[in-house]
Amino acid sequence: MTAWSNDIGYEDVFAREVEALGRAGDVLLGLSTSGRSPNLVRAFERARQTGLRTIALLGGDGGDLQPLADHVVLVPSRNTQHIQEAHDVVVHVLCELVEQRLVAAGWFAQSRGGEASGSSAFPRGSSDAAGSARTPTRPSGVTPASAATTSDGPRPATVRRSPVAGKARVQS
């Protein structure tokens, strides 16, 4: 991302990520205190072309991003610190809601003692510190709400970390 941006420009940096990683049915979450960042505006335009759903956390009047987003959380303030504080709370609530849905769908392994393993839960197909593979059992007939289908067939939902969205924490 840095090399591209240094050589070409920052205006398309997030649009290129959406193009490379985004699939129809995925969600793009963008945060902007003004809604006028050209790199986010272009990413949201690309997301619309690609069939991604979009959520924008914005400040002020929402700027150019507001009409491009499917869902908007607008903090009606010009004070950058207040906007960012409100965005932090909203991001934490969104992470909690996603985590609850994933846990309810059985996406995380149970500990060896039979309890939810909290921070030692491993996403599907990963392994623990000892290297033994852990695959959570999913209740019969439960499909992740965010599963998508592509022209190649069903594609399992994935949780991706992005420099735009920040770090995610998963625990039961």
Among the listed residues 113, 116, 92, 109, the one whose alpha carbon sits nearest the alpha carbon of residue 166: 92
What are the φ and ψ backbone dihedral angles of 31, each rounded to 5 degrees? Answer: -120, 130
Ranges in the chain, pLDDT < 70: 109-172
Q: What is the pLDDT of residue 171?
A: 30
The strands making up 27-32's β-sheet, listed across from edge to edge, are 27-32, 53-59, 71-75
- The C-alpha atoms of residue 155 and residue 143 are separated, in whole angstroms, by 12
Contacts of 163 (CB under 8 A, 6+ apart): 1
pLDDT (0 to 100) of residue 62: 97
pTM: 0.62
Q: Where are the alpha helices (DSSP H) in the chain?
A: 2-7, 13-21, 38-50, 80-104
What pLDDT score does 115 carry? Answer: 53
Q: What confidence tens digit (pLDDT) does each residue in 86-134 have?
A: 999 999 999 999 999 999 999 986 644 555 544 444 444 444 444 444 4
Q: What is the pLDDT of residue 143?
A: 39
**Confidence (pLDDT) at 114:** 52
